[in-house]
Amino acid sequence: MERTLIILKPDAVQRRLVGQIVSRFENKGLKVAGMRLMQISQELGERHYAEHKGKPFYPGLLKFMTSGPVVVMVIEGPEAIDICRKLMGTTFGMDAEPGTIRGDFSCTKTFNLVHGSDSPETAAFEIPLYFKDEDLVEYTLDDHRWNADGD
């Protein structure tokens, strides 16, 4: 099983899209291992997005991500990172395919609703920024046998 960090950004919360977005991951057969509503502090935002410091979009990104509540989640499942990224769609909503989260709910570059870890290494860095090990719940979904490849 693979885990990834998903953040429903301030625009997703403000537009009341949380339920619809979470259902996309659940309907695909992935499970939520942890979830919380929070406000990202300036310090946490700087730690999370440190790799982008110095880039032209960095100040705006920090301002946006700290501007309102977000929902942070750990999503788990086989190939969870790749599956979540496909469900989210390409970065810019105006370029994202219909049927993806961004393709269905976003049409801008700035407000793209959702963040997802892009690799196992990134997930390993990002998840502990928002969750302690004891915050994550281990459980088996009853429908796992129908959504897995016989594992």
Q: With bands split at pLDDT 50, 70 and 90, how would you rate the model's confidence at 10?
A: very high
Reduce the DSSP state of residue 110 to 3 states and report it: coil
Question: pLDDT digit string (tens) for 48-72?
Answer: 999 999 999 999 999 999 999 999 9
Ordered domains of the chain (ranges, CATH): 2-36+71-133 (3.30.70.141)
Active site amino acids: 115
CB within 8 A of 142, min separation 6: which ones?
A: none
Q: With bands split at pLDDT 50, 70 and 90, how would you rate the model's confidence at 12?
A: very high
Identify the sign of the CA torsion 44, 136, 27, 17. negative
